Amino acid sequence: MATRATDVGTNQSVERAVSVLRALDSGRPELRVSDVAELTGLGSSTTSRLLSTLERLDMVERDPVSNLYRLSLGLLPLAATAANRHPVHRASRMVLQGLATRTGLGANAAVRRDSELMFLCNFEGTRAPKSYTQAGHTAPLHATSIGKCLLTGLTSKERRKLLGDPLAAHTEYTTTSHDHLDTEIETVRRTGYAVEAEERALGRASLAAPVRDASGDIVAAISLWGPTSVLGDRSDAEAQRLALVREVIEAADAISQALGAL
């Protein structure tokens, strides 16, 4: 059936509105109309009209003094509902809260969204540096332990197609070679966990374990993160790190069981 011109116009309007919302989630707390236009590639008049419409719908709000735009709390009920209804979020929330309390480290759950990972929940520990990770934030798969666990469900060929070549470097320690990543993935499959040290941010490290559903597929992963002195491969506190490995694997197993895994 042929697509009507009105359908095309309506779809385009929705796509443009979503691009405006995503621009306001670009990292800066507030933006001018011209900033949003630049980020979206839309004209200033089109951007202004979209922002006005989204403001009426309580999706964005404008500061009465600076006239800068930001995302509105009107989005929060939708986002909270989406997160709370996700089975991994429901299964992992209490487990991760307990894990962060026991270890004093940060605890995360994430799923793969195409070529990135998306965090579903995050709990801070007393021994972990302040985290800027929030539910909904994304991160690279190849430069995080939680991402490497998520990649174990793919073949080497699928990973190359998904991530491209070369792999992006975030620090001098980031894995940028697919051959090296292949070796790391095989280690994760053999041991049941992944370790990452300063690949995404200097001074920080993490370890993670995969989460499976009733079919046995890897649908998510959880991680502990904190200082490299505690979690990194180069850590002198080997016994302490191995104890934390057991903690994260047992937590991942508990979440998997809640999802129906045997």
Task: Please check whether residue 117 lies inside any domain of the structure.
Answer: yes
Q: What is the CATH number of the domain that holds 216?
A: 3.30.450.40
Position 68 scores a pLDDT of 96
- Using the predicted structure, report yes or no on whether residue 82 has a pLDDT greater than 50: yes
Tell whether 109 and 225 lie within a shared domain.
yes
- Using the predicted structure, report yes or no on whether residue 9 has a pLDDT greater than 80: no
Tell whether 44 and 63 lie within a shared domain.
yes
Tell whether 170 and 200 lie within a shared domain.
yes
Tell whether 121 and 32 lie within a shared domain.
no
Tell whether 118 and 174 lie within a shared domain.
yes
- 9 or 166: which leads in pLDDT: 166
Of 24, 52, 74, the residue at which a domain comes to its end is 74
Task: Please check whether residue 96 lies inside any domain of the structure.
Answer: yes
- Using the predicted structure, report yes or no on whether residue 7 has a pLDDT greater than 60: no
Specify the number of domains making up the chain: 2
Confidence of residue 10 (pLDDT cuts 50, 70, 90): low
- Using the predicted structure, report yes or no on whether residue 3 has a pLDDT greater than 60: no
Domain range for 243 is: 85-257
Q: What is the CATH number of the domain that holds 55?
A: 1.10.10.10
Position 106 scores a pLDDT of 93
CA nearest to 99, candidates 219, 261, 252, 259: 252
Task: Please check whether residue 79 lies inside any domain of the structure.
Answer: no
Tell whether 200 and 114 lie within a shared domain.
yes
Position 107 scores a pLDDT of 95
Of 74, 99, 124, the residue at which a domain comes to its end is 74
Task: Please check whether residue 2 lies inside any domain of the structure.
Answer: no
Strands across the sheet containing 138-140: 138-140, 116-123, 106-113, 218-227, 204-212, 194-197
- Using the predicted structure, report yes or no on whether residue 120 has a pLDDT greater than 80: yes
In this prediction, what percent of the chain has a pLDDT beyond 90?
Answer: 74
Phi-psi region of 164 (alpha: psi -120 to 50; beta: other; left: phi over 0): left
Tell whether 66 and 96 lie within a shared domain.
no
Tell whether 57 and 139 lie within a shared domain.
no
Position 131 scores a pLDDT of 62
Mean pLDDT for all residues in the chain: 90
Tell whether 33 and 116 lie within a shared domain.
no
Position 130 scores a pLDDT of 65
Tokens 């991994």 appear where?
A: 88
Distances (CA, A) of 20 to 27, 94, 246: 13, 34, 43
Tell whether 62 and 104 lie within a shared domain.
no
Task: Please check whether residue 5 lies inside any domain of the structure.
Answer: no
Give whichever of 6-20, 76-90, 127-141, 169-183 has the largest mean pLDDT.
169-183
- Using the predicted structure, report yes or no on whether residue 181 has a pLDDT greater than 50: yes
